[in-house]
Amino acid sequence: MPYVVTEPCIGVKDKSCMTVCPVDCIYEDGDMVVINPDECIDCGLCEPECPVSAIFVDTDVPDNWRDFIEKNAERGRELAG
């Protein structure tokens, strides 16, 4: 179960999550960051670091932000190259 960055990150892009990620699976994407689900090891270190509570396990993403699951997956994979 990979983690997903959701709407509250937009415009904040604090990057604390990037600093603690042991596998560097979090990428900058315009006005927010995204997580590549193929690289995420589900360690959970990023979630408590987010100052706006924008990071969720994919199964716990609130209904109003469910579209961010696919957005993260697509953009994370693209940015990982």
Can you give the residue range of the structural domain that contains 41? 3-80
* CATH number of the domain bearing residue 28: 3.30.70.20
Long-range contacts of 65-71 (CB under 8 A, 24+ apart): 65/6, 65/7, 68/4, 68/5, 68/6, 68/7, 69/4, 71/34
pLDDT digits (tens, 9 = 90+) for 53-64: 999 999 999 999
Average pLDDT, the chain: 95
Q: What is the pLDDT of residue 74?
A: 94
Mean pLDDT value of segment 62-67? 97
Number of domains the chain contains = 1
pLDDT digits (tens, 9 = 90+) for 9-35: 999 988 999 999 999 999 999 999 999
